[in-house]
């Protein structure tokens, strides 16, 4: 974090009536969750992540794709929410109205205490049937032995839907697929109605999700960006806080409500 945390960011957050927190891969990377294109190591290193993350790949080799996503899921289960995730849960508890929107497919916000994050790109923990209706499916957590020894390079047959017998697929948004309509609509409405949008750890280049902070700015909200590096969102941000989320967000929360806590 460069210099002293700007007083303006704390004041904006403290005075806001409707807050949106919009997160990307950067905050999860601070918990040890690799970004999507970095999440190919060991025996998976010979594959192209972008080619695995398609409906066509699943149709061609469902065991391979399911095995990779189960490997990713077990890695996420071993990760822990960091202080940035915990600070976001604190914002949700302190601010009058807070909506958390994430591009991440992990469950770290929920495990940190966030009540109902909007997952724009789906989740590794919400598998669904391949049927057109895409109804949800329930999977048990892997046994402890599997979490300790992820399936590196192993093909794993996907389960069958208990309702219709079709294959169960990962509940993430693949390349070539539209974002979940209900999630996108809720995110756009929350951004447009916000007073402050806090964008954390996102590059601002993956569309249509990257439009969310810009919608907030066009609607009159103050955008506060938390990112170690400059991004295209610098131009629409009222305040840019340089540094990792795990350091910046707890400091921002402490500064925003320190006066309230003294009364």
Which positions are annotated as active-site residues?
Answer: 121
Asked if residue 201 belongs to a known ligand binding site, the reply is: yes
Q: What is the Cα–Cα distance from 123 to 33, expressed in whole angstroms?
A: 14
Q: What is the Cα–Cα distance from 9 to 50, expressed in whole angstroms?
A: 37
Q: What is the Cα–Cα distance from 105 to 6, expressed in whole angstroms?
A: 31
Contact 77, 33 (CB under 8 A): no
**Structure tokens that stand for 38 in this block:** 């970095």
**Structure tokens that stand for 68 in this block:** 């990779």
Asked if residue 240 belongs to a known ligand binding site, the reply is: no
DSSP 8-state symbol, 160: B
Residue 226 belongs to what H/E stretch?
strand 222-226
Asked if residue 228 belongs to a known ligand binding site, the reply is: yes
Asked if residue 164 belongs to a known ligand binding site, the reply is: no
Q: Are strands 222-226 and 196-200 parallel, antiparallel or unpaired?
A: parallel
Class of residue 262 by CB neighbours under 10 A (exposed 0-12, middle 13-18, buried 19+)? exposed
Asked if residue 89 belongs to a known ligand binding site, the reply is: no
Asked if residue 105 belongs to a known ligand binding site, the reply is: yes
Asked if residue 227 belongs to a known ligand binding site, the reply is: yes
Asked if residue 82 belongs to a known ligand binding site, the reply is: no
Contact 241, 252 (CB under 8 A): yes
Asked if residue 232 belongs to a known ligand binding site, the reply is: no
> CB-based contacts of 37: which residues, under 8 Å, 6+ apart?
49, 50
Asked if residue 72 belongs to a known ligand binding site, the reply is: yes
Q: What is the Cα–Cα distance from 182 to 219, expressed in whole angstroms?
A: 21
Asked if residue 104 belongs to a known ligand binding site, the reply is: yes
Positions at the binding site for substrate: 69, 72
Positions at the binding site: 69, 72, 103-106, 129, 161, 201-203, 227-229, 245
Positions at the binding site for Zn(2+): 129, 161
């Amino acid at each position: 974090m460069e210099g002293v945390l700007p007083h303006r960011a704390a004041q904006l957050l403290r005075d806001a009536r409707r807050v949106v927190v919009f997160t990307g891969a950067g905050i999860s990377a601070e918990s040890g969750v690799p970004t999507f294109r970095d999440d190919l190591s060991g025996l998976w290193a010979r594959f192209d992540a972008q080619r695995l993350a398609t409906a066509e790949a699943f149709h061609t080799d469902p065991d391979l794709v399911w095995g990779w996503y189960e490997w990713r899921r077990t890695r996420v289960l071993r990760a822990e929410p960091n202080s940035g995730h915990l600070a976001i849960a604190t914002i949700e508890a302190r601010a009058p109205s807070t909506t958390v929107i994430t591009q991440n497919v992990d469950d770290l916000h929920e495990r940190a205490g966030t009540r109902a994050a909007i997952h724009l790109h789906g989740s590794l923990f919400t598998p669904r049937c391949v049927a057109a209706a895409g109804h949800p499916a329930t999977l048990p957590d892997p046994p402890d032995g599997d979490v300790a020894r992820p399936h590196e390079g192993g093909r794993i047959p996907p389960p069958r839907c208990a309702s219709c017998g079709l294959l169960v697929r990962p509940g993430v948004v693949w390349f070539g697929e539209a974002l979940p309509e209900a999630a996108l609509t809720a995110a756009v409405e929350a951004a447009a109605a916000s007073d402050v949008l806090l964008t954390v750890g996102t590059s601002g280049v993956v569309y249509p999700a990257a439009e969310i902070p810009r919608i907030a700015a066009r609607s009159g909200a103050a955008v506060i960006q938390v990112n170690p590096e400059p991004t295209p969102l610098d131009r629409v941000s009222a305040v840019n806080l340089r540094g990792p989320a795990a350091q910046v967000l707890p400091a921002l929360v402490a500064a925003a409500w320190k006066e309230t806590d003294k009364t």
